[in-house]
Amino acid sequence: MTTSHSGSDYDEDIPLSQSVKRKAERERETAQEIEGSPAPGDEEYNSDEVLALQPKKKKKKWIKVKRSKSGKITKVKSTKKVKKEEGDEADVPKKEEENEEEGEEEKYKWWEDQNSSDQAWTTLKHNGVMFPPPYQPLPSHVKLYYDNKPVELPPDAEEVAGFYAALLETDHGKNPVFQKNFFHDFLQVLKESGGTLNGITIESFDKCDFSKMHAHFELLKEEKKKLSTQERKQLREERLKEEEPFRYCELNGRKEQIGNFRVEPPDLFRGRGKHPKTGKLKRRVQPEDIVLNIGEGEPIPKAPEGHHWGEVKHDTSVQWLAMWRENIFNSYKYVRLAANSSIKGQSDLKKFEKARELKKHIAAIRKDYTRDLKSKVMLERQKAVAIYLIDVFALRAGGEKSEDEADTVGCCSLRYEHVTLQPPNTVIFDFLGKDSIRFYQEVEVDHQVFKNLAIFKRSPKQPGHQLFDRLEPSILNRYFQSYMPGLTAKVFRTYNASQTMQDQLDMIPNEGTVAEKLLRYNAANRTVAILCNHQRTVTKGHAQAVERANYRIQELIWQRIRLKRCLLQMHPEMAKEDPERFEELSTLTKEDEAAIHARIIEREEDKYRRKFARENDKLKFEEAELLEEKVLNEWLQKVEDLKQEFAKELETGEVEIKTKFDSVAKIDKQIERLTERIATSSVQLKDREENSEVSLGTSKINYIDPRLSVAFCKRFDVPIEKIFTKALRQKFDWAIESADEDWRF
């Protein structure tokens, strides 16, 4: 926390408990001019609010000018209510064939229970955690080279070097910060394990050659890729069997899945964005580091041979089964239940019910912040603008961050340089949010918001300074509680996401094929994802994939044109009878057609060459006689024939009519088929492109009330499997079973 450091004391912010008075004050205020420079009234907050400007770096990196003390609100314990969604009118007939969830045991419908306990659990039984395998030293011919000389590393140091070598060619491996942090920790471990075994002293990262180690890991990867389906299955089964005891626990007497039962293996920390600590060694977790949480009186799982647990406790107020402290931030890691567990489901349901509750208050909140945009008290104005941003642009709260984390921001931590103002009321947001994902938006905002942002940026503030120098999430959240218990900044994201989804789904007409409905559902989903700024990086091959898909569509159109040419060849009079139908013939230029031919030829040749290589590979492996070059040439001759045919076709404009398509009826049918394929391919491509930078999953999993999707499926007769994967169906079982087609957010 930054403490008050300049001489001046700032205005006493009015405690919330006096909001009535605040209101009276505001009512005296007259409506302000909007356009042009801020009207005098806009600036009528106390003038002693001089902004402190000396960059004051304590723990915090960014200048916070003043922290205000606001009055406290009596906290209201959130009333827990288990929502009762009856409405299961036994009208779920088509679900019967869904037998994938092995329904051996009676399913526990926790959402039908009146559960109001504040304990996380009453009984809990589990087998502890699964440790990663111990380090396997590399074969003796695989070494790190230093100054071109092979280095004998003690296993502990070799392991760390290996972590880096594996990443050598990745973005992490090439990142200087990553390299520096890794190298520092590597030397540390090397020192701890007594230095190299062949007298080499390692001092300089640049003299280290990890390429041999890297090549070794690549080789392993290749081998793994080559495994046959059988071998894979075998390995999988072995793994599953080994995991079995750790996968499940007994919670309140019922078997439930555990989420991350595996202890995180040692590795180099891969921080996201410009992370100061990226590349540091994440050390191996020992049983002694682990705290188990388990029911009183239950058998304590055995720690691995020669080890013991750090601690065993019986805390029924928390959800975790085990935890340990990691060494990068000295923070905790927890082993908890899977997403499909009753505990997680309950929290989820509660979250959405809380968001729905906000519906009842949102009008008042909006009215109040609109009014407070003109408050005379700086804190109030900042609050109003911040809430506006959270409400309208779905920003996160934005808590303070320390120096040793990536520089990312949310609403309260926005800085001068993140917001650009373009009169009359356009704002450009440009900052890195959670996970260093860029938030870039040019938007028009409320005029008063615009004016206020200008005030918040006014000199002497400059880049590096906090926009909301008096705000922190806790202030906002405390204020939110006055509207509704449990209301916090993040509830707005849930509320706005689900409400948006509801609105979008309402606009979908109940018509068309399942595929069409799905497309529209995804479009709605996408609107939400965009609202929440859920992005993904386009995959490496994306541009190429799009190009290829476009080619495919072009080729389908070309095929259709050819068929139409056949029609005309057989019945020239058709051109006059239905000129529209043959319009597209003239849209294809000779150059385009030649290009299409060339592509097809190339692809065909490629195909045969690859086939040849593949079969010979196989034969070689079987030590059988290899195919002769002659075979390949025969295949290629086929392609050559095709090429000739194309060339002739291009020259004469005549298509050779195949017996397959020798009647009008046959051709018509084929044209119809092609037309269909062209349509679906085009739609799919468009959808894919629009999705290439948007991640739909995050909002589906965390923000959109699943009951919306369930209701949509029931109302529109879309199988739920089309929308929820198996894992999601398990996670949202409560929603699938409780929401009917009329359910509304």
Partner DNA sequence: CTCGCGACTTAGGAACGCTGTC
Partner DNA sequence: GACAGCGTTCCTAAGTCGCGAG
Q: Within 202-261, which residues bind DNA (CB under 7 A)?
A: 224, 232, 236, 259-260
User: Which residues does 488 contact at the CB level (< 8 Å), separation at least 6?
Assistant: 397, 473, 476, 477, 480
Q: Using the rule CB under 7 A, is 616 a contact of DNA? A: no
Assess 620 for contact with DNA (CB under 7 A): no
Task: Report, in Å, the least distance between residue 236 CB and DNA.
Answer: 5
Identity of the residue, 146 or 261, whose beta carbon is nearer to DNA in the bound complex: 261
Is residue 556 helix, strand or coil?
A: helix
Is residue 112 involved in binding DNA (CB under 7 A)?
no
C-alpha span between 105 and 116 (Å, rounded): 25
Using rule CB under 7 A, residue 15 touches DNA? no
Interface mask (CB under 7 A) for DNA, residues 71-110, using x and -? -x--x-----------------------------------
Report d(CA 710, CA 699) in Å as an integer: 15
CA distance 654 to 657: 9
Query: Which tokens go with 187?
Result: 């030397």
Q: Taking contact as CB under 7 A, which single stretch among the options 206-214, 447-455, 695-703, 707-715 is the one that binds DNA?
A: 695-703
- 162 belongs to the binding site for DNA (CB under 7 A): no
Q: How far is the CB of 548 from DNA (least distance, A)?
A: 6
* Binding characters for DNA, 649-688, by CB under 7 A (x = yes): ---------------------------------------x
CA dist 471 and 475 (Å) reads 6
546-585 footprint of DNA as x/- string (CB under 7 A):
--xx--x---------------------------------
Least Cβ distance, residue 28 to DNA (angstroms): 30
In which element (H, E) is residue 165 found? Answer: helix 155-166
Q: How far is CA 384 from CA 222, 371, 389, 397, 453, in A?
A: 57, 8, 9, 13, 11
Q: Can you tell me the distance from the alpha carbon of 231 to that of 145, in angstroms, rounded to the nearest whole number?
A: 35
Q: Is 334 a catalytic residue?
A: no
Q: How far is Cα 170 from Cα 401, in angstroms, rounded to an integer?
A: 27
Positions in 402-441 near DNA (CB under 7 A): 405-406, 408, 410, 433-437
What does the per-residue mask of binding to DNA show for 339-358, with x meaning CB under 7 A? -----x--xx--x-------
We find the least distance from the C-beta atom of residue 556 to DNA, in angstroms, to be 9
Q: How far is the CB of 209 from DNA (least distance, A)?
A: 22
In the bound state with DNA, the residue whose beta carbon lies nearer, of 93 and 176, is 176
Output the smallest distance, CB 270 to DNA, in A: 5
Nearest alpha-carbon partner for 209 in 159, 145, 158, 157? 145
Residues in the interface with DNA (CB under 7 A) total 89
Q: Angle 27-33-36 (CA atoms, 0-180°, nearest 5)?
A: 150
Which of residues 535, 554, 559, 670 is near DNA by CB under 7 A?
535
Q: Kindly write out the interface string for residues 488-517 of this chain, putting x where it contacts DNA by CB under 7 A and - elsewhere.
A: xxxx-xx-----------------------
User: Residue with structure tokens 């509320």?
Assistant: 495
For residue 630, the tally of other CB atoms under 10 A from its CB is 8
For DNA, which is the closer residue by CB, 567 or 694? 694
Measure Cα distances from 282 to 198, 357, 579, 652 in Å: 27, 42, 71, 70
The active-site residue, picked from 146, 248, 608, 703, is 703
Q: Which of 45, 250, 399, 609 binds DNA (CB under 7 A)?
A: 399
Segment contacting DNA by CB under 7 A, of 394-402, 461-469, 573-581, 629-637 = 394-402
Q: Which is nearer to DNA, 277 or 447 (CB)?
A: 277
382 CB burial (10 A radius; 0-12, 13-18, 19+): buried
Q: Which residues inside 264-283 make contact with DNA, applying CB under 7 A?
A: 264-265, 267, 269-273, 275, 282
CB 366 within 8 A of CB 390: no
| 155-166 vs 176-192: helix crossing angle, rounded to 10 | 170
Residues known to be catalytic: 703
